[in-house]
Amino acid sequence: MQVEIGDSVLELVEGDITRQDVDAIVNAANTSLLGGGGVDGAIHRAAGPELLAECRTLGGCETGSAKITRGYRLPARHVIHAVGPVYRDGRHGEAGLLASAYRTCLELASENHLASIAFPAISTGIYGYPAEDAAHIAFRTIIDYLSEHPEVKFVRYVLYDARSFAVHARVLEQVLAA
Ligand code: ADP
C-alpha cells in the first residue's frame, strides 16, 4: 500500500526492518541503547558488533527521543535508535511520547540529509502499546511531518506479520479519510 503525501511517498509493507535498503532504518530501542529483544536484537545481530560499540558512546537516550548511528553491515547506511514509551494505561503521557519519538526520527533524517527512512511499529511489541492506537499516532505524525518537509521523500512503514499489516492498513485509511 502506497500513498502520496505532497511530493513524498508513505508506503506500508509486510517485512523485516533489518532487510530494508533505505538511508536509515529506525530501531525500537530502550533508554540504554545497549540492545534488547524484538527489533532491537534483530538489528544488532544483523548490523554486527560495531553497532553496539558506537551505541556505547552515546550515553543512552530519553524516552520520546532518538539518536543516530551508522548502519555497519545492514543494507541501510544509518540506524536511528528511537525510544518509545512503555504503555501503562494511556494516562501517563504515552501518546505524546510516542509522537515525539516518531517526530525526532524524522527530524534526524532531515538534519542528516536522509531522503528515505523505514520504521517498525515502535512500542507495540514488548512495550505493550495497543497496535491500533499506536498506528493512529504514527501515521498522523508521519503525514504531518511529510506535508511540511518535502526533503524526506520516502517513508516505509514495516509490519512484521500479516495481521499487523491488516490493522495498520485499515488505520492508515482512517487517518487519510479524517
Ligand atoms: P518495543 O519494545 O518498542 O515494543 P519490539 O521490538 O518489542 O519494540 O516490537 C515492536 C514491533 O516490531 C512489534 O510489533 C514487533 O512485532 C515488530 N517486529 C519485531 N521484529 C521485527 C523485525 N525484524 N522487523 C520489523 N518489525 C519487527
Ligand 1 center to residue 173 CA distance, Å? 22
Q: Is the CB of 43 under 6 A from ligand 1?
A: no
Q: Which domains does the chain have, with CATH numbers?
A: 2-177 (3.40.220.10)
pLDDT tens-digit readout, 148-159: 999 999 999 999
Q: Tell me the average pLDDT across 92-97.
A: 98
Contacts of 176 (CB under 8 A, 6+ apart): 3, 143
pLDDT tens-digit readout, 10-33: 999 999 999 999 999 999 999 999
Which class for 161: exposed (0-12), middle (13-18), buried (19 or more C-beta within 10 A)?
A: exposed
pLDDT score recorded for residue 111: 98
For residue 15, give the C-alpha cell: 517485512
Q: Is the CB of 35 under 6 A from ligand 1?
A: no
Q: Is the CB of 18 under 6 A from ligand 1?
A: yes
Could you tell me the CA-to-CA distances from 84 to 29, 53, 89, 172 in Å, in that order?
Answer: 8, 22, 15, 20
* Complete DSSP assignment for 14-76: ES-GGG--SSEEEEE--TT-S--SHHHHHHHHHH-HHHHHHHHTTT---TT-EEEEE-TTSSS
Closest-lying ligand 1 atom to the alpha carbon of residue 39: 6
Confidence of residue 4 (pLDDT cuts 50, 70, 90): very high
Q: Tell me the average pLDDT across 43-54.
A: 98
pLDDT score recorded for residue 141: 98
Whole-model pTM: value is 0.98
